């Protein structure tokens, strides 16, 4: 089995950016991606999501951003990624679902049903889409209506004329409410009061918000989503829902789920036909468990006070699209940083063997 200088796991924005920069640095590598086709998580977004609805997809390095048209995001972004992979001749192999990465005598061994690969370094770019987070509430399994998570959102038409409870305080919940309010009877519940952006969102304010996620990653805490610190805003698509008072009528989380609806701690009850859990995602890093990268606090500590991409516990491992770089613009930058981190590791002389040992 050949020994590669680097393996990138994942071919979304973060993985492609990393591969682009590794190529520029002349570092032989392979990109292993679990999906059948290019596009990362974008190919799995719901059909009703258009390029005008997305918050903004940054251009991949050395490229132009996908156009903001009424085209479906789940076809437009994948088409851009496919063209990018071809143009830059990125060495992507798919479908390869990596089950685990182990350390065998100082060599990283990447295991998948499709094969086994050995490498000196690893860039992990597996995103969050495959790890939807669904909180558990008592009585959840007794509910007779439908339950969806963001990953299987069937689009607004499915809910026409029905009573829908949207759960979650992030950008997806705000967007679902905006789309559903004109055609359905909607309710909103969040764990914490939503944080709205009240002033103009300047690049400085954005950087300050991302710095909060960096601080968590620097301490080895599990990262929170960038949106949770940048705050929420209402776009033109959400104005109709705002006029209907949907965002003002937000309620705290209910205490339990019953067959026909949800009940709050004060005894109040709302009947609902469907619950839409817009409760976010967690980093898809289970395959890295054998490397023991997690800190006692549950997250993976990254270097440069959380601004870097190198795992503090193992300088062979880079994490991109993780924590502060979990946005398309952040993923781009992280790809460059990771490629440099790989280069630096490969240039570092191996420690001399202790002859007395």
Ligand X SMILES: Cc1cc2nc3c(=O)[nH]c(=O)nc-3n(C[C@H](O)[C@H](O)[C@H](O)COP(=O)(O)OP(=O)(O)OC[C@H]3O[C@@H](n4cnc5c(N)ncnc54)[C@H](O)[C@@H]3O)c2cc1C
Show the binding pattern over residues 257-286: x = contacts ligand X (CB under 6 A), - = does not: ---------------------------x--
Among 4, 7, 8, 11, binds ligand X (CB under 6 A): 11
98 binds ligand X (CB under 6 A): yes
DSSP 163-181: EEEEE-SSHHHHHHHHHHT
57 binds ligand X (CB under 6 A): yes
Show the binding pattern over residues 157-176: x = contacts ligand X (CB under 6 A), - = does not: ---------------x----
241 binds ligand X (CB under 6 A): no
13 binds ligand X (CB under 6 A): yes
4 binds ligand X (CB under 6 A): no
283 contact partners, CB below 8 Å, separation of at least 6: 126, 127, 128, 131, 222, 223, 322, 323, 326
* Cis-peptide, bond into residue 95, ω within 30° of zero: yes
For the bound state, the minimum distance from the C-beta of residue 175 to ligand X, rounded and expressed in Å, comes to 8
d(CA 349, CA 114): 33
28 binds ligand X (CB under 6 A): no
85 binds ligand X (CB under 6 A): no
66 binds ligand X (CB under 6 A): no
Q: What is the CA radius of gyration of the chain?
A: 22
Tokens 């069937």 found at:
154
For the bound state, the minimum distance from the C-beta of residue 127 to ligand X, rounded and expressed in Å, comes to 2
d(CA 158, CA 184): 10
> Containing H/E element for 261?
strand 261-263
Among 127, 261, 306, 323, binds ligand X (CB under 6 A): 127
Tokens encoding 45: 């977004």
From the list 193, 153, 188, 156, the residue with the least C-alpha distance to 174 is 188
338 binds ligand X (CB under 6 A): no
For the bound state, the minimum distance from the C-beta of residue 277 to ligand X, rounded and expressed in Å, comes to 13
332 binds ligand X (CB under 6 A): no
For the bound state, the minimum distance from the C-beta of residue 169 to ligand X, rounded and expressed in Å, comes to 14
d(CA 51, CA 179): 15
Q: Answer for the pair 302, 295: CB distance below 8 angstroms, yes or no.
A: no
Nearer CB in complex with ligand X: 257/291:
291
Catalog residues that contact ligand X under the rule CB under 6 A: 9-15, 32-35, 40-41, 45, 54-57, 96-98, 125-127, 129-130, 150, 172, 284, 287, 321, 326-329, 331
């Amino acid at each position: 089995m050949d020994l590669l200088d680097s393996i990138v796991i994942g071919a979304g924005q973060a993985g492609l950016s990393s591969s682009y920069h590794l190529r520029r640095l002349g570092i032989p590598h392979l990109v292993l991606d679990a999906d059948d086709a290019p596009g990362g998580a974008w190919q799995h977004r719901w059909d009703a999501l258009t390029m005008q609805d997305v918050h903004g997809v940054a251009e991949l390095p050395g490229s132009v951003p996908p156009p903001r048209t009424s085209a479906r995001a789940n076809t437009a972004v994948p088409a851009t990624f496919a063209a990018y992979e071809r143009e830059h001749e990125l060495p992507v192999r798919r479908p390869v679902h990596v089950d685990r990465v182990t350390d065998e005598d100082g060599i990283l061994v990447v295991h998948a049903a499709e094969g086994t690969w050995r490498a000196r370094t690893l860039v992990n770019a597996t995103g969050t889409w495959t790890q939807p987070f669904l909180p558990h509430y008592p009585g959840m399994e007794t509910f007779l209506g439908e339950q969806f998570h963001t990953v299987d959102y069937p689009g607004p038409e499915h809910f026409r004329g029905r009573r829908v409870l949207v759960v979650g305080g992030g950008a997806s919940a705000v967007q679902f409410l905006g789309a559903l309010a004109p055609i359905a009877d909607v309710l909103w519940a969040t764990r914490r009061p939503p944080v709205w952006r009240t002033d103009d969102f300047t690049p400085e304010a954005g950087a300050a918000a991302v710095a909060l996620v960096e601080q968590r990653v620097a301490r080895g805490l599990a990262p929170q989503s960038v949106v949770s610190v940048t705050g929420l805003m209402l776009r033109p698509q959400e104005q109709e829902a705002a006029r209907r008072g949907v965002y003002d009528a937000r309620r705290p989380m209910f205490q339990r789920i019953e067959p026909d609806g949800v009940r709050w701690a004060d005894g109040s009850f709302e009947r609902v036909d469907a619950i839409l859990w817009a409760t976010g995602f967690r980093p898809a890093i289970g395959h890295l468990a054998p490397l023991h990268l997690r800190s006692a606090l549950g997250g993976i500590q990254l270097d440069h006070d959380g601004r870097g991409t190198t795992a503090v516990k193992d300088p062979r491992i880079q994490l991109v699209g993780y924590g502060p770089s979990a946005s398309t613009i952040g993923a781009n930058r992280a790809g460059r940083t990771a490629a440099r981190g790989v280069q630096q590791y490969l240039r570092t002389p191996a420690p001399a063997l202790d002859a007395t040992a």
